[in-house]
Amino acid sequence: MWNFLHKLASPPHFYSLSAKMIPWFHAAGLVAIIYGTVAGLFYAPVDEEMNDGFRIIYVHVPAAYISMLAYVVMAISAGIGLIWRMKLAHAVAAGAAPLGAWFTFLALITGSIWGRPMWGTWWEWGDPRLTSELLMLFLYFGYMALRAAIDDTVKADKASAVLALVGAVNIPIIHFSVEWWTSLHQGATLVREGGPGIHPDMLYPLLAMILGFTLLFGALLLARVRTEVLHRERRTRWVRNLLVPAGETI
């Protein structure tokens, strides 16, 4: 196990392995998203209170889940890179940040669209779930801006890692905000005592969409990390051999 993890931390090994994984992630994610979209939009029953408006959950909920998952990946990777000085871990954190920002933006936009007919307003500043999710978007922006502002890669890794770890305190706040404070946002539906509070015909497409979004995020993350690795390792022999195979000349 440790030997596998040690090899995975090697940039050349990761670059080779990820090339094989990305197509599988893309294909499996696409299948899950197609099933979830068709089943959720055309076969799931109409909600008694929200009518067909509830169907936006098939984008909103997976996007919100990935927005937090991406931050957890970023923070853990940044911590690993900071403690064990693993360059690949910092590359993963750097690759996760823009993806997390996009999914957070999607969660906020779809949540606002959903909130207008359900709550009678596009946005409510006093709602803890909304404001903490928006704060996470700013944390993503701050992480990326800090990295871009420091030319030295090693210093940028260290500074941005500290910011990512400090900002991780916002993740439990987002998750438990509807339980800790008064909120317009709907409470836990999938993971709660007594089981999911949603009809199976609505639940299975939602789970498929969450799985599909997760696999899509994995594929996009691997692709971004591969690019980050090439940039960081651009002066090494193995990267030069990718561009100019051994025995050939330019």
> Could you report the per-residue pLDDT of 134-182, keeping only the tens digit for each?
999 999 999 999 999 999 999 999 999 999 999 999 999 998 888 777 6
d(CA 52, CA 40): 10
- State both tokens at 52: 């067909």
User: Structure pTM?
Assistant: 0.92
Phi first, then psi: give them for residue 51, nearest 5 degrees: 55, -140
* 192-196 average pLDDT score: 64
More confident residue, 209 or 249: 209
Is the model's pLDDT at 248 over the cut of 90? Answer: no
Where does the pLDDT of residue 206 fall: very low under 50, low under 70, confident under 90, or very high at 90 and above? very high
Percent of the chain whose pLDDT exceeds 90? 68
Does pLDDT of 114 surpass 80? yes
Query: What is the per-residue pLDDT for 191?
Result: 63
Confidence band of 5 (pLDDT split at 50, 70, 90): low
Q: Inter-axis angle of helices 200-232 and 11-38, to 10 degrees?
A: 160
Asked if the model's pLDDT at residue 229 lies above 70, the reply is yes
Please tell me the distance from the alpha carbon of residue 101 to that of residue 198, in angstroms, as a whole number. Answer: 29
Rounded to 5°, angle at Cα 112 from 109 and 116:
150
Indicate whether 193 pLDDT > 80: no
**Is 243 a residue whose pLDDT tops 80?**
no
The predicted model gives 38-53 an average pLDDT of 86
- Mean of all residue pLDDT scores within the chain: 89
pLDDT class of 50 with cuts at 50, 70, 90:
confident
Question: Residue 246 pLDDT more than 80?
Answer: no
Select from 90, 37, 14, 95 the least CA-distant residue to 213: 37
Rounded mean pLDDT of 34-42?
96
